[in-house]
Amino acid sequence: MTITSENETANANVDATRSEVGLDVRPMSGYIGAEIFGIDLTGPIEPEVVAEVRAALLKWKVVFFRDQHITPAQQIAFGRLFGQVTPGHPTLPTLEGHPEVFPLDSRAYADVSSEYQVRSLWHTDVTFVHNPPMGSILRGVVIPPYGGDTQWTNLVVAYETLSKPIRDLIDGLHAVHVNQIILERGDGSKLQKMFTRTSYETVHPVVRVHPETGERVLFVSPNFTQRIVELSNTESQRVLDLLFSHLATPAFTVRFRWQPDSIAFWDNRATAHLVPTDYGHLGFDRVMHRITIAGDVPVGVDGSPSESREGGAFA
């Protein structure tokens, strides 16, 4: 008689799933991130494969693909399998010929890099609009030989690991999100003016309920979250500082080493990420192309939706 261990049974189930749809999903850390192999994003993708990618995304919050030699049009087509692809950014310039693509190009700011430096802070994309994106898909175009890694954190785990009294407190709170740029040094007034040419201000629940999984998500981040409505300014800052520090706990995160034609696809409703700052002094170029998928209006624990104060919804 052959005795099969629990781990062997689990591995057999993983293998069966992989052989059925042709995907190989390899987790990268304990709480967040998985690489997906066995898929070609340049051609048609069967609905059952799309469903498996979505399932992996919901479970691991961010998924990664390697060696995907796709064009901007193919990147957009891939995004449309998961929802409506929005314009690239509410206020900043987009890629010529592809208004859905937001280019993150270090070369565009090379001539002003000595004038100012934007502070790299944990953030969830475009939370200042009424309906922040469901997801973002980022493609590596020009990658430094080293440096330039991106990090993501799991905001579901961040919420779940708070003590119950803190969870009970923040379940009923709401926070103001605005489109702002926070500088580390210098005068970035021209960039700030461009970024805020349309003013956005939205009040989101501090804890949102994920529309697909039902999970509770800590929905604040240092970049765009300004203050908590129900608290005094001092109380708000103390509580936000606590939450910002907690969501950055290293155990909740994954770090991705980029290569040309690597792709990251993250659930923007359940993650925050951190832009790298460790390559600018090396003189390397770094070019990324991002698209975003339209999201719904966040809903809090009590069932109430976010409130737009200025700027409204996006796409």
pLDDT digits (tens, 9 = 90+) for 223-274: 999 999 999 999 999 999 999 999 999 999 999 999 999 999 999 999 999 9
CB atoms within 10 A of CB 21: 18
Q: What are phi and psi of 220, to 5 degrees?
A: -135, 155
Structure tokens at 184: 């580390």
Report residue 288 as tokens: 């990324």
pTM for this one? Answer: 0.91
Bridge partners (DSSP) of residue 227 are: 176
The whole-angstrom separation of Cα 148 and Cα 136 is: 18
Q: Any idea which residues carry the catalytic annotation?
A: 123, 125, 273, 290
pLDDT for 111 equals 57
39 near 56, Cβ under 8 Å?
no
Contacts of residue 237, defined as CB under 8 A and 6 or more positions apart, other chains included, come to 227
The answer to whether 278 and 303 are in contact (CB under 8 A) is no
Crossing angle of helices 47-60 and 6-21, rounded to 10°: 140
Helices (H), the chain: 6-21, 47-60, 72-80, 155-160, 164-170, 189-195, 233-247
Of 54, 73, 69, 78, which Cα lies nearest the Cα of 137?
78
> What are the phi and psi torsion angles at 281 (to 5°)?
-75, -10
Q: What b/e sequence results for 237-247 when a residue is b if at least 16 CB atoms lie within 10 Å of its CB, and e otherwise?
A: eebbeebbebb
SS3 state of residue 192: helix
Q: Read off the pLDDT of residues 27-85 as tens digits, 9 standing for 90 and up.
A: 999 999 999 999 999 989 999 999 999 999 999 999 999 999 999 999 999 999 999 99
Q: How confident is the model at residue 215 (pLDDT cuts 50, 70, 90)?
A: very high
Give, in order, the Cα–Cα distances in Å from 278 to each of 49, 71, 143, 199, 221.
36, 28, 13, 31, 21
Mean of the per-residue pLDDT values of the chain: 91
pLDDT for 22 equals 82
Q: Where are the beta strands (DSSP E) in 89-182?
A: 102-105, 116-118, 135-142, 150-154, 174-178
- pLDDT tens, residue by residue, 163-207: 999 999 999 999 999 998 877 777 767 777 878 888 999 999 999
Per-residue model confidence as pLDDT tens digits over 121-157: 999 999 999 999 999 999 999 999 999 999 999 999 9
Distance (Å, rounded) from C-alpha 174 to C-alpha 177?
Answer: 10
Closest by Cα among 153, 89, 90, 122 to 240 = 122
Chain-centre distance for alpha carbon 52: 20
Give the pair of three-digit tokens for residue 160.
Answer: 């779940």
Task: Give dist(CA 9, CA 42) in Å, integer.
Answer: 34
Beta carbons of 280 and 105 less than 8 angstroms apart: no
CB 211 within 8 A of CB 269: yes
User: Is the Cα dihedral 120, 230, 161, 35 positive or negative?
Assistant: negative
Pairing of strands 34-37, 62-65: parallel
d(CA 77, CA 97): 15
Model pLDDT, residue 21: 74
What is the pLDDT at residue 298?
98
